[in-house]
Structure 1
Amino acid sequence: MAGDTRVRRATQARHDAMVDLVRAGVDSVEVLSERLGVSASTVRRDLATLQRGGRLARTYGGALARDVFHERSFTESERLNLAAKSAIATAAADLVPQGGTVFVDAGTTCLALAQLLVDRGPLTVVTRGLEAALLLSRTGGVDVVIVGGRVQPLSHGVTGPLSSLALDRYHFDVAFLGADAVDPVRGLGEPTVDETWVKERAAAVADRVVLLADASKLEQPAPAWLPVGPSWTVVIDGAAPQAAVTQLRERGVEVVVA
C-alpha cells in the first residue's frame, strides 16, 4: 500500500512538473523526456492522461497548456484532427446553396470545406484565406474573390480595413467562419481583435452564419472574442462534450453534430 502511494505521488509530481515545463514553452516530447528523465513513451502516456484531465492539449509532437493561448501556424493546424475536420466540412457542404454566394473564412477546417466546393459550381466564393483562394481558382465553375488587407503570418488569413471595406459591399447566402477557440458564452475566440472584426463584418452581411469548429476548440483561451449570434449554426464533431452542445442550444444556436 505504501509503495502504491509513493508511485502515485511520484506520478503526480511528474505530471505537475510536465505542466510547468509546457507553460514555460517546452512543448516537444523529446525535450520533455530529457528534462524529466523518463522515456518518450512515458511522456506520451502522461500527456494523454493530462489531456483527458483537461490540463494540457495535445499537438503534433508535443503539447500546450490549456490556460495559455497558443496560436498554431497553418502548417501545424492542418495536421490535427483531420477526421473531425473532414466530417465537419461534409456536413457544412450540404448548407451551400446551388448558384449562391458564400463567404469562406481562413483556416484549415474552412479549407476542408473549400476542397468540397471544387465541383459545386456555379458558385461564388469570397474568402480571406490564401489557400482556399488558390485551390478554388484552379477549378471551373467557381468564381473566386479574395478580400484585400494584411496577411496574418501564422493563419494566412487577411485582415484589416481593406477586408472590412470589401465585405461591406457583398451579400452572402451563407458565411462560413472558423475559430481558434469556441466558448458557449463568450463565442468564437481569435488571436486579435482585427480577426474578430473581419468575421463580424462577414456575418453582418450574411443571411446565415455557420461556425465550423472541431471539439478541440472548446474550452480554449483566446485574447479576443466575438459573441455567437442566437441565429447562428455551429457545426462540430461528435467528440464535443454534451454539456457544451446543450449550452449552445440553450442560447438559441443551432448545433449540427457531424
Structure 2
Amino acid sequence: MQLSPAERDYLYDSLCLQTPIRPDARNLYQFRPLEAKTTFLPGSNGSARLRMVDGGECIVSIKSKVVKNESVNSLLECDIDIQGHRDDSNFVSNLKYNLTNLLTKNFPFDALRLTKKYSFKLFIDCIVISHTSYPLTIISLATYLALKTTRLPLLVSEIDDEEVEEQPTFSDDWEDSRLLHEITGQTFQPPIMITVGVIGKNLLFDPSLEEEQVLENGLIISFYNNKAITPISNMNLALNANKDNYKGIDQSLIISAINMVNKYCSAVIHALDTLIEQDDEVDGTIF
C-alpha cells in the first residue's frame, strides 16, 4: 500500500515527535504480534511457521544429510524462496547472504560432527509465502524456532572410524533423537536479526510497511547470546517507496540502536523459547 503525499507528511511528522505516535500505537521497542507453530512438518528434522498481523507468513524447514567431511565446504546451506521474486534477484540474494553469513559465524558445528570422517549437513529452506514489510526479521525468527526444535538421530555405531571405513548407523527409534542443545551439552540460542527504523532522532523496532515508506534510514542488527553482535548494516528498508527521505545516519543513533537491542531482544528470545516449551497440541501462540 502506497501512501499519498499528505499521508506521508502526516506519518513522518508523527514519528518524528519527541514521543512518536506509531500508526498501530506500538511502543518504540515493541514488535508486531506474531502467531507461531513449531514441529508441524513430519518429514523435517525441525520446522516452524510464523504469521504476522499484517499478513506476512514464513515457513522454515530443516533437514539433515550425512556427508563426508572432505566433500563439503560448509555444514550449513540456506535457501530462501519469496513469493513474487526471482530466486536470483538481488533482493533474495541479499537476504540469503545475510542469513547464511550470520548462522555460519555463530553455529555450534561440533553438534553436527558424527565421526572423524562423517558429519550431518543441515539444509535450511525458508519460504516467505507473503510479506509487506522487509522480511528479514520474520525469516530470522522462524529460523530460530526451527533450529531450536531440530532433532538429529542418535548415532549407534563407532565414533572413531579413522582406521576402518564404516558408514554411520543410527537408532531406528525417533524417541532416541536429540535436540542440538542436548548434543552440545549447553544452551543453544541461534542468532537472530532485527530491523530497526531510523527517523529523526527516533528508533523504531520492527517497522511496518507504512513506517518504512517514511523512514530516513534502516538498521539490521544481529543478536546472539544475549547481546548485539556483528554484522550490523544500514539500508533502505522500503523496497518500492519514494526514497526522498533516505539520509545518512548519525553514529550516536547506531549506538542507541545497539543499546535498545541489548535491552529488549532478550524478551523476544524469552517469548520464542516459551512458545517452544508449550504443549505441541496448542495450535499457535500469540506473543
Q: Report the TM-score, using the length of structure 1 for normalisation.
A: 0.31
Q: Which has the higher contact order (CA 8 A, sep 6+)?
A: 2
Write 1 or 2 for the structure with the bigger share of strand: 2
